[in-house]
Structure 1
Amino acid sequence: MDAWWSDPRHVLDVVERLLSALRPHLLGRFSDELGKLIPHRAAAMQTGDCPRSPLKVVGDQTIAQAVTSVEVQRLVDLSEPGKALVVDGVLGGVERRLVLFSSMPAVGKGAVLVVVPEDGELLTPELELAAQLWHILGTDAGQRALDPGPNVLAGNLAAATARAQAITDLGQTHAATLTTLLAVLRSGRLSDVVARRTAADLATDALLELKGVVDRDQALSEERAAAAFALLRTQLADLVRHTEVDVDLVDPVGDASLPQDIAHTARTMTRGLVLAALDRPATTRLRASWRLEGAVLRITVRDDSPEVTAAVPARG
């Protein structure tokens, strides 16, 4: 360990620099200081106190851009609060030697740091000191999270809402794909060979689309209503083609421009209602339409099931 770390004044200077960092710069500042103790290529942090952006990554972009929250969550389950653990795990799609730092202070929900160290020996004194610094930083972050300003609260709420909407959208997309596959495999209109080939093509297309998924841009761009509905029609095309239900997707009345987030929400809601209706065994006919009345977009999904009220998804 560098002799500087034996000087209490140096350690206090490091702590002061860390605690004075603004929240967006916190991980980058800690990574810089940690690099003097444990040289590393990249660092990923996942915290329960930041609904705006719970996963943050800094360092080598070939690693940082490939890191996923699923990978980090699996590593979270291996971590121990207050300790630095050296483990073998997958980060950025590659199995590597990793160092896990976990903090669970008395306030807040804690945070886990995953570090990709440079090649070389990892010494216990450096690991223990780094774990203590991470705990101090985690305690401060938890305190900050308890008293956010109005602007932070509003931004966090918007971010959490957008993320929940994206999760709902992805869940419905996968549900539509699986429902379509089942409809193809159960169809009495297709031979076994054709059904298997069609199902394989659908699964391949779904996997290619999944690999190409990127974070959706929620900027204030506009989308024509007809184009937005045409995208919905495309998303449901395979399901409509193979279901036994008579599905009628009616082009929107009026072709005003919609904010992109409104168009995205309308597609998500409509697709959810269509899937819910098709899930009712008694449904034989279904009609979905949009109508623009000034600044109001009305979404209508009707079916002939006698239990139509049960087809309406519960509000979250």
Structure 2
Amino acid sequence: MSPLASTRPRMLRRFSAPRMPVPVPAGHTRIEVAGLRVERAGRAVLDQIDLRVRAGEVHALVGPNGAGKSTLLAAISGDLPAAAGAIEVDGLPQAAWTPVELAMRRAVLTQRNTLSFPFTVDEVVRMGRAPWAGRPEQEHDDSIVADALQRCDIVQFAARPYPALSGGEQARAALARVLAQQATTLLLDEPTAALDLRHQELVMRIARDRARAGDAVVVVLHDLALAGAYADRVTLLADGRVRAAGPPDAVLTAPLLSEVYRHDVEAVPHPRTGLPLIVPRRDRQESTHVAKEKQ
């Protein structure tokens, strides 16, 4: 067979109509990771990672700095190659999908969302509609963008240049772009890091709402209380491996967190909701000393 003939099926696949995502029941696996290993400079930064991302769930990735949370999200999104293991999206290997087909299935919010050109916020959010260009879904672009702006509380900034916004406002605009993409899986890397308390809760309610609507949501969090309050499932990473995975009350325990974070942690139920509250242990003498120093 000639080299040209051997590449013909791939070329035809590239230019044929994209395979559209289909609705699935809650609990259905959208993304599956098995035996994943990722290396940087010849060193394993992730090893033996197994993970299932299910429709209708918020799945939180937690762990100390350097545990591999963002690296895992980048590998799932296809931005980092795997040295070993497999990643499947909607039942097929990640490489079996075209870039447009992947964009219809997973939307990615990275930690840093910088732009060098003065696009308006509205224009940035519209970038999320790119996978649907030239398709019937494009007719709904205006209403979808307007809804994303409203949900992320940035309607008032729609005409402003994106670079002129504060860090927290840029973070919400970037999230609105991800929502406008209308992918079936959201991959959110520290979406609350630059936000005040009100907007942290807003973002996590958006994640919860998307899961209720049938999407799968993976979110990297440093705030363990947010993970306990909003996640259906938590995966705790440490030193590039899965240390524990399961429901929040099974993973977010004081002994386990104290071991992984190398700091004494208290995990107590909220007196009204019963949701776990996770705080570092501080004795009264240390707290008094800190208060006097601030004075």
Shorter-chain TM range is under 0.3
Structure number with greater CO (CA < 8 Å, separation at least 6) is 2
Greater C-alpha Rg: 1
Scaled by the length of structure 2, the TM-score of the pair is: 0.27
Query: Where is the helix percentage greater, Structure 1 or Structure 2?
Result: 1
